[in-house]
Structure 1
Amino acid sequence: MGKNQWVVHHDNKWAVKGEGNSRVTKTFNTQKEAANHAREIAKNQKSEVIIQNRHGRIRSKDSYGNDPCPPKDREH
């Protein structure tokens, strides 16, 4: 399982950042673009996507790994 991918507000843009990394992977103009990029990485690495709002609070989480106890997620 790879690193979880975080979508964070960064310098008035949205960025994808691997969990534990000090630098962002890539920045985007919209949160939607960043989330789509993070999902592609998470699918390849079988990890999770965690999306934060502008204030740093977790807005959404989604797992793309082999979760033995998958939640009943109705969001996606």
Structure 2
Amino acid sequence: MDNYHITKDGDKWKLQKEGNERSSKTATTKAEIIKATQDYMSNKTGSVKIHKEDGKFQEERTYPRKADPKKSKG
């Protein structure tokens, strides 16, 4: 499973695959990058780690949802 990160880079938010130097997607707001990530990941399997503006970890989302290894609600 590929790992991706959503982080703030200057005045933009970016989605970047671990190990890649270039961003897969960029947006001006966090909400926009999360929406773009949902579309981008629609035909991929991977884990997306969403970070806060200060770089600290906020949450993780697995695409597709059925690939989530956790057996928990939500």
**TM-score (norm. length: structure 2):** 0.77
| Pairs aligned (count) | 72
5+ unaligned residues in a row in structure 1: which ranges?
Answer: none
* Pairing 1:29-68 to 2, within 5 Å after superposition: 29-65=28-64, 66-67=67-68
Helix, strand or coil at the partner of 1:32: helix
Q: How many Å apart are 1:41 and its aligned residue?
A: 2.5
Cα distance in structure 2, aligned partners of 1:22 and 1:58: 20
Partners of 1:39 and 1:49 within 8 A in 2: no
**TM-score (norm. length: structure 1):** 0.76
5+ unaligned residues in a row in structure 2: which ranges?
Answer: none
Q: How many Å apart are 1:73 and its aligned residue?
A: 4.6
Identical aligned pairs, as a percentage? 25
Does 2:21 align with 1:22?
Answer: yes
Aligned twin of 1:13 = 12
Partners of 2:5 and 2:15 within 8 A in 1: yes
Helix, strand or coil at the partner of 1:43: helix
